[in-house]
Each structure stands twice: as C-alpha cells, then as structure tokens.
Structure 1
Amino acid sequence: MSKRSEESSIKAHRKYSPVSSLKNRWQEWADQHIITQKLNPFSEEFDHELAMSTRLHKGDEGYGRPKEGTKTAERAKRAEAHIHREIRDLCFIIETMAKPRRDGKIQVTFGELFERYVRISDKVVGILMRARKHGLVDFEGEMLWQGRDDNVIITLLK
C-alpha cells in the first residue's frame, strides 16, 4: 500500500468512524439545546431579543399550532378527528330524529335533541357550535341553554 493511499484511508476512517459520528451528533444536539434554552422563558439563558425576533405572528404559517412531529401535534390530530366523528354522529342523530320538510330541510328542536343526544355525549352544545362553525347546522343565538332554549329550532344544512 502506498503512503498516499494509506493517508487517505486514515482520513476516510476518521471521517466516517462511529466515534466521530457520535461526537458530531452530540455537538449538534448541544448546539440545538443552547438555542432552545435561549428561547425558553423559564431558562436562565433566556434571550428576550432572540425570542421576539424568531416568534411567529398572527397569519404566519404554523401560528397557533404545535410544532409538527411533536406529541402535542399528534394529540391535536387525534382530538380533531374525534371532534369530527362527534359532529358526524350529531348530524346523523338529527337526520334520524325528524322527517324532512317539504323544502327538504330537516329540523329538530334543541330540547328534543338534548334529550336524545345527552345519553350519547354530554357535550351537546359544544358539538352543535362546532357543527355550525363547519356549516353543517344552523340555529338562532350564540349559545343554547337547556330549559331556556328548548324550543330553538336546529336546521341540518348538509
């Protein structure tokens, strides 16, 4: 083996050795940790200027959402899927409770729906509000209260 090929072999071994790779990964983690601590308001190394310059603002991509790939993001996706299932269930219950009117709309009173749906879920009002936000139902008023709003008509839109 020539001296030149031996030197290149040693350099290649150093460059791709497991110890060097581990050292590099550790250094990357340490560098990232320093930045994370500068952004953490509970850390002694907190840097207010850096935190304010890197934070997201309303309208920015990702604002008000957990970072992708985190456990919080995973929980948020599961919760959103659960809410959508409850909305579909609520719409199905409304559809099965009443016959369509001549114009094709399906309507039910809040009192009737509350009595039927409260056995399924205690979040009737919250699910109704989310369903209205998604354009699936409509009703008068901001909030519905059991007893007081029993005669409010809920219309299934889709």
Structure 2
Amino acid sequence: MEMANDAPPPFEDDRTVCVVSVKGLKENWQRWSNEHQEHQKHNPFSSDGQPVCTQPLLGQNGYGRPQEGSLTQRRGQDAQSHIGREVQELCLVIREMGGGHGEEGQPVVEFGQLFERYVTISNKLVGILLRARKQGLVQFEGEMLWQGQDDHVVITLLQ
C-alpha cells in the first residue's frame, strides 16, 4: 500500500496540467486580502474606518482634480484633447459654410444650416458650440440652441 503525497493529484485539462495546493490558495487569498485592505484605506467611499489618503481639502491646490499620474487624469487629458479637436473641426465647418460676414468680416452661419450640415459629422453639435463659445471662438444669442425654434439664430466665428 502506497502513502499519499502532500500534493493532491494534478487536474488535467485539454490545455494544461495544474497542481493546486491548499497552501498556495491560502497565500494567494491572503495577498489579495492585504492588497484590498490597503486599497480600501485610500478609498474615500469605504466604510473601513477613516481613509488615510491625503486628498486636498476645499480651497487647496489640487482640490477636485484627479491624482497626478492616475488613469483618471490620463482619461481626462484624452477627453480634453478629443473635445479640442471637435471644436477645431466645428470652427473649420463654420469657416467653410460662412455664407455671410459679420460686422467685422467674420464668417457667420445660421444654426439651422449648420445643424443640417453638421448632423452627419457629429450628434453633439450644441455641446460643442457651447464649449467653443466658452473658449471665445464663436458667438450667438441665447443660453441654449434648439433645433427648429432656433434655426435662424446667427452663429459668428470670432477667430
């Protein structure tokens, strides 16, 4: 009669042979648990006591900003870059379409015409127009533009 080994028999699969021990499972679980506890210390939404992270307080530099070097910061930068390209494309379309010229010779276009042309390019025209106005690139009357009712609002390209 043979004595049993400390290791269980291997689990055979079509692709691999894997030997699993209780000790290895326990070590993996403990490592995951330690990493999770450390992560939760830095999670402001965790109920595991007070977070130990040093988040800036209201009024301090960096408040409301993602942590330097984080994926959140990277995604924000990528989004900012993408929106910047969309605004540039919008200005180019207005410049190309600008049938009339404003008081100082800037290209102008009516919202309805721009909407009809731009709808095939992007479904975010109004949001991009608001961003371009915030950056001082375009000017138009009103807070928001609505298809149909604001079709005759004139949009002026400032730069």
TM-score (norm 1): 0.68
How is 1:67-106 mapped onto 2 (pairs within 5 angstroms)? Answer: 67-99=67-99, 100-101=101-102, 103-106=104-107
Residue 69 of structure 2 aligns to a residue whose secondary structure is: coil
1:46: how far off?
A: 2.2
Whole-Å separation in 2 of the counterparts to 1:71 and 1:44: 24
For 2:50, give the aligned amino acid.
D
Q: Are the equivalent residues in 2 in contact too, given 1:40–1:46 (CA < 8 A)?
A: no
Partner of 1:151: 152
Residue 43 of structure 1 aligns to a residue whose secondary structure is: coil
Q: Going by fraction, where is helix more abundant, 1 or 2?
A: 1
Identity of aligned residues (%): 54
Change (3 A) 1:60 1:126: same
Whole-Å separation in 2 of the counterparts to 1:59 and 1:42: 21
Q: Deviations over 1:119-144 (max 9, x none)?
A: 10000000000000100001111111
Moved over 3 A (4+): 36-39, 41-44, 99-102
How is 1:30-45 mapped onto 2 (pairs within 5 angstroms)? Answer: 34=38, 37-45=40-48
Identify unmatched segments of 5+ residues in structure 2: 1-33
Residue 142 of structure 1 aligns to a residue whose secondary structure is: coil
Whole-Å separation in 2 of the counterparts to 1:39 and 1:83: 31
1:106: how far off?
A: 1.3
Partner of 1:46: 49
Partner of 2:66: 66
Whole-Å separation in 2 of the counterparts to 1:102 and 1:38: 60
Whole-Å separation in 2 of the counterparts to 1:102 and 1:45: 63
Report how many aligned residue pairs link the two structures.
124
Partner of 2:22: none
How is 1:14-25 mapped onto 2 (pairs within 5 angstroms)? Answer: none
Whole-Å separation in 1 of the counterparts to 2:55 and 2:40: 14
Whole-Å separation in 2 of the counterparts to 1:56 and 1:74: 19
1:44: how far off?
A: 4.2
For 1:46, give the aligned amino acid.
G
Whole-Å separation in 1 of the counterparts to 2:62 and 2:129: 27
Change (3 A) 1:101 1:122: same
1:56: how far off?
A: 2.6
Please tell me whether residue 121 in structure 1 is matched to residue 125 in structure 2.
no
Residue 60 of structure 1 aligns to a residue whose secondary structure is: coil
Identify unmatched segments of 5+ residues in structure 1: 1-29
For 1:133, give the aligned amino acid.
K
Whole-Å separation in 2 of the counterparts to 1:58 and 1:123: 33
Whole-Å separation in 2 of the counterparts to 1:131 and 1:120: 16
Whole-Å separation in 2 of the counterparts to 1:63 and 1:91: 33
